[in-house]
Amino acid sequence: MYLPRAFEEKMKDLLGAEYEAYLSCFDEPRHYGLRVNTDKISVEEFLKIAPWELTPVPWISNGFYYDGEKDQPAKHPYYFAGLYYLQEPSAMTPADRLRVEPGDRVLDVCAAPGGKATELGARLAGTGLLAANDLSNSRAKGLLKNLELFGIGNVLILSEEPGKLVPYFRGYFDKILIDAPCSGEGMFRKDRKMIRAWEEHGPEFFSKLQRSIITQAAQMLRTGGMLLYSTCTFSPEENEQTIEYLLREYPEFTICEMEGYEGFAHGMPEVTESGNQELKKTVRIFPHRMKGEGHFLALLKKGEEAGGMDGSTAGRMAGKMAASSEKLPSELKEFLSTVKREFDTARIDIRADKVYYMPEDVPPLKGIRFLRTGLLLGELKKKRFEPSQALAMNLKKEEYGHIIDLPVSDDRVVKYLKGETLDVEDLTGPKDKGWYLVCVDGYPLGFGKLGNQTLKNKYLPGWRWQSS
């Protein structure tokens, strides 16, 4: 296994007697992880229906290992129902330790492809707000898909340099997660291509970027709010020294203890200029100590600034949206009457022909790039309303009156996911027609339109099942 000489020397200094144990882990197989979407299904219920052998990730309550050489959970209808996310086990830790609660306003600063954001959104359980940002517009599109697949509707999907977000969200968020761009040293074992990237852009390059991001994020956190900073690297410049920099620039922040695990290693104050012993509260994950790749985590709380002001000028006033149900198009009102859920009509926003259900108290966003604001309910088309794929994934089976629920063993499930028209004469009455929510074992997959016992497929083309 080739490792750059400079990296080897640094790791010897960092690990001392544990260095040989670290090297030996490169000969071991990688670990594959699956994280249950607890906003759709409980862990207990998922284990009853999971068709693979799963072993708990001991420090993540909804995380499991699976055999990635044998099993293919990404090619299963339950994946298309958004019941789980495939994620490296150590990478599950940041979103788990941020302590997100229903009603929080949460920002994921560097969110694509959505591994952390999907867990943050699931913990909000349809309340509060999740703002998920990624500078890359193409990566943000993948982020949007993953959040919609998970059924998360209380979202803002942004694509901006974090500093540009500060004037819009100063002091606005209760929780912020920064899974920072980094040199990727902790991923060398999983992805050997990261070694070449490290040689091109090492820790010094990324540490400057991280210091910019973390200080920008600090301004968007409210007093009393929590910030979790993480990387998948071992570099002190990108880890403890970045936290030391934040504390120097924003002394109102303090480092908090995280829920522990026997494999976690303490942060290393000795690699910083200040030697601040509070840095021991940060966490390092080494692959020779536990079944996961390399990671670093720091959980911080924001106190009041000197002088007692926190600078919170967050635009907490929502933009003007549809004012009353009387102003809603009749075809939209007719469809919403079939959904067994209360909609606050003041939060319904119609732009061109698209209809969105906005989160509460969203500040005006004019001037910044975004891919989605709120839940896309559907589209108005020539005196009819067509519900969206995002709405289908956001609904629970019991929230919609017209259901076609197929067992996972029914070959029509895969046919539906491939975009094929379905014969459902055995499941519907001779006069039934209209929009139906198609489910697998009670979990929504998408919509179809029924006529003459034939279901016209409305599954989103870009999401369709691809044959091997």
Catalytic residue numbers read 232
Residue with token string 């599950």: 92
Is the CB of residue 95 less than 8 Å from the CB of residue 116? yes
Is the CB of residue 165 less than 8 Å from the CB of residue 368? yes
Give the pair of three-digit tokens for residue 99: 């302590």
The helix (H) or strand (E) run that includes residue 354 is strand 354-357
Handedness of CA 90, 218, 142, 387 (dihedral sign): positive
For residues 101 and 123, give the distance between their C-alpha atoms in angstroms, rounded to a whole number: 6
For residues 83 and 67, give the distance between their C-alpha atoms in angstroms, rounded to a whole number: 18
How many C-alpha atoms does 364 have within 13 Å on its Cβ side?
A: 4
For residues 313 and 170, give the distance between their C-alpha atoms in angstroms, rounded to a whole number: 6
Q: For 34, phi and psi rounded to 5 degrees?
A: -135, 130
Angle, CA of 371, 375 and 378, to the nearest 5°: 95
Is the CB of residue 170 less than 8 Å from the CB of residue 311? yes
End-to-end CA distance of the chain: 32
CA neighbor of 389 nearest in space, from 467, 448, 345: 448
Handedness of CA 343, 346, 347, 350 (dihedral sign): positive
Classify residue 94 by its DSSP letter: H
Crossing angle of the two packed helices 115-124 and 137-149, in degrees rounded to 10: 40
CA neighbor of 293 nearest in space, from 190, 182, 179, 192: 190
Is the CB of residue 169 less than 8 Å from the CB of residue 220? yes
Strands 265-266 and 354-357: unpaired
